[in-house]
Amino acid sequence: MDFLPLAILADRAAGNDKFGTKACVMPRKVLMAIVAAVALLAPAQARHTALATPGSQAGTQAAVSPSAAQAKQPVTLHGITVEQDDRTLGNPKAPVTFLEYGAPACPFCARFALDDMPVIRRDYIDRGKVFYIFRVYPLRAADGTVATLARCLPRARYFTFLEFMFRNQPRWDPDGYDIPDVEAAIARLARSQGIAAKRFRHCTGDERAIARLNALAKDGDEKYRIRGTPTFVVNGAVVEVPDGSEPLAVLRAKFEALLKEK
């Protein structure tokens, strides 16, 4: 049940072969060294997803359009195909469509989600300027586990659950942390969010959800040649973040340039 996008089979060697895998562009050790030495987050090819903070509003998760929702057909917004089961924030009629591919176990993705996305939401999504789509691009089996759990929840809880997992990476994430049993660690955190053991097994064993996750990641590979997470796509074009640049600054400049054209 895997597609292996430019496949790197680290998890398969450990017996975890349900999900396609890809090496993270920059490991957590390197990130921590950069943060300590430079107090900056390094290259673009490494960060993650957008969520509301616990206790704050989770954000508007819009259907693409009533007619499309009834037909269950994808629609194209500014060069990006939006699927009916995509998890989104904001108004689909916004002049800018922003797609992110990220991984729950990616430290750079967590940093982007927790530090940068609140600013993007405040300045662009909540003001109707940007429509946001998030898709999981699994780097390892743990990403698939978290992704299937998030999709098992009501849409209104999707982003808040992912943020919870980002904030708690040290308690479950095998990328840089000593976690003897990753699945058990994820199950404990899921239980704290109301996902009991039986539901955990049902959600993470859902073959259709696994196939869907892999299909979306494969589609991302084919369309955007994803090399790592997070990968940003704005109005159909991949946004490259040069080494040493901050994703927020690069994305803000891209958004503003497109908005001026409207």
Q: Tell me: the pLDDT tens digits for 206-238?
A: 999 999 999 999 999 999 999 899 999 999 999
What is the pLDDT, as a whole number, of residue 176? Answer: 85
Asked if the structure places residue 2 within a domain, the reply is no
- What are the pLDDT digits (tens) for 161-197? 999 999 999 999 998 899 999 999 999 999 999 999 9
What is the pLDDT, as a whole number, of residue 60? Answer: 52
What is the pLDDT, as a whole number, of residue 22? Answer: 40
pLDDT at 27 > cutoff 60: no
Asked if the structure places residue 4 within a domain, the reply is no
What is the pLDDT, as a whole number, of residue 62? Answer: 55
What is the pLDDT, as a whole number, of residue 97? Answer: 98
What is the pLDDT, as a whole number, of residue 61? Answer: 57
Asked if the structure places residue 220 within a domain, the reply is yes
Read off the CATH number of the domain in which 251 is found.
Answer: 3.40.30.10
Q: Mean per-residue pLDDT for 115-119?
A: 98
Q: Work out how many domains the chain is built from and give that number.
A: 1
What is the pLDDT, as a whole number, of residue 262? Answer: 76
Asked if the structure places residue 237 within a domain, the reply is yes
Q: Mean per-residue pLDDT for 88-110?
A: 97
Please name which of 101, 87, 81, 97 lies closest in space to residue 226, comparing C-alpha atoms.
101
DSSP run (H or E) holding 238: strand 237-239
Burial (CB < 10 A; 0-12, 13-18, 19+), residue 90, is buried
Asked if the structure places residue 81 within a domain, the reply is yes
Residue 237 CA to residue 155 CA, distance in Å, equals 27
Q: What is the pLDDT of the chain when averaged over all its residues?
A: 81
Is residue 35 a contact partner of residue 108, using CB atoms and an 8 Å limit?
A: no
Asked if the structure places residue 1 within a domain, the reply is no
What is the pLDDT, as a whole number, of residue 33? Answer: 37
Asked if the structure places residue 92 within a domain, the reply is yes
pLDDT at 31 > cutoff 90: no
What is the residue range of 94's domain?
10-261
Residue 122, phi then psi, degrees to nearest 5: -65, -45
As a 3-state breakdown, the chain gives helix, strand, coil percent values, each rounded to 5, of 45, 10, 45
Q: State pTM to two decimals.
A: 0.77
- What are the pLDDT digits (tens) for 37-71? 333 223 333 333 333 322 333 345 554 444 444 44
Q: Mean per-residue pLDDT for 105-117?
A: 97
For β-strands 231-234 and 237-239, DSSP reports them as antiparallel
Please name which of 149, 147, 213 lies closest in space to residue 5, comparing C-alpha atoms.
213
